[in-house]
Amino acid sequence: KAGVTQTPRYLIKTRGQQVTLSCSPISGHRSVSWYQQTPGQGLQFLFEYFSETQRNKGNFPGRFSGRQFSNSRSEMNVSTLELGDSALYLCASSLASSGSYEQYFGPGTRLTVT
Amino acid sequence: GQSLEQPSEVTAVEGAIVQINCTYQTSGFYGLSWYQQHDGGAPTFLSYNALDGLEETGRFSSFLSRSDSYGYLLLQELQMKDSASYFCAVTSASKIIFGSGTRLSIRP
């Protein structure tokens, strides 16, 4: 069974631009969560989608948004990029909805904002 | 609100035993899980405790005390490949929240 895939793996953007990241979950998984990881900050929860509906949202500004498609693939968008948005963005999929303890992570997208 | 505390760094010797502690504050607690992340890699699931006590999986064990809001991950017979970051995570009905991670360094 294929794992979670994320594209692109690396991205360099300029302040003020916007970016869209993509995540394909494991086949059969309907929940997709997004996390931001920066050195020393652990995994900061962004949002979770289940069956195309946003179930939970973390404490991030409205510049961060996401969506999920009928095939469970998910996209995350960040508008008006800031230098502080430079991070590793991870998505994770799971069988169950909110609160699933076993999440399968993708390799991440390394975003650098200059 | 929810919060988790775990040490930022731990150093141990190859072949030894190390314990990584995690204390948490949360409402609607379901369980405590642990994830391992090697440098440049994705976090991978290690274990989950919903009930008090010790769960053993090979060289790794995880413990939970719900009354103390405390858990730990125990790694035995440490190998160099165990050098990684370890995250505890609290699961509630609606979400999973991760700690900031403990970086485990192993010396030969």
* DSSP-derived pairing of the beta strands B84-92 and A5-7: unpaired
- Whether residue B48 and residue A35 make contact (CB cut-off 8 A), yes or no, is no
* Structure token digits, residue B84: 């990684």
The chain A residues in contact with chain B (CB within 8 A) are 4, 33, 35, 40-43, 45, 48, 55-56, 90, 92, 98-108
Contacts of A50 (CB under 8 A, 6+ apart): A30, A31, A32, A68, A97, A98
* pLDDT for A2: 81
Report the residue count for chain A. Answer: 114
Q: Determine what percent of chain B is predicted with pLDDT higher than 70.
A: 99
Instruction: Pick B42's closest partner by Cβ from A55, A90, A99.
Output: A90
Chain B residues closer than 8 Å to A104 by CB: 45
Average pLDDT over residues A1-9: 91
Tell me which residue of B65, B66, B44, B46 sits closest to B56, measured CA to CA.
Answer: B46
Element (H, E) at A42: strand A42-50
Chain A residues closer than 8 Å to B43 by CB: 43, 90, 92, 103, 105
Tell me which residue of B71, B85, B11, B49 sits closest to A37, measured CA to CA.
Answer: B85
DSSP A26: P
Give the number of other Cβ atoms within 10 Å of residue A99's Cβ: 20
Chain A residues closer than 8 Å to B38 by CB: none
| Whole-Å CA distances, A32 to A1, A43, A56, B51 | 17, 15, 11, 26
- pLDDT, one tens digit per residue, over A39-97 is 867 889 999 999 999 988 888 999 999 999 999 999 999 999 999 999 999 999 998 76
* pLDDT for A42: 81
Tell me which residue of B45, B106, B7 sits closest to A42, measured CA to CA.
Answer: B7
Average pLDDT, chain B: 93
Q: From CA A71, how far away is CA A16, in angstroms rounded?
A: 31
Q: From CA A49, how far away is CA B76, in angstroms rounded?
A: 37
Instruction: Pick A102's closest partner by Cβ from B45, B98, B101.
Output: B45
* pLDDT for A102: 85
Residue of A nearest to B98 (CA): A43
Q: From CA A5, how far away is CA A32, in angstroms rounded?
A: 12
* Structure token digits, residue B98: 């991760």
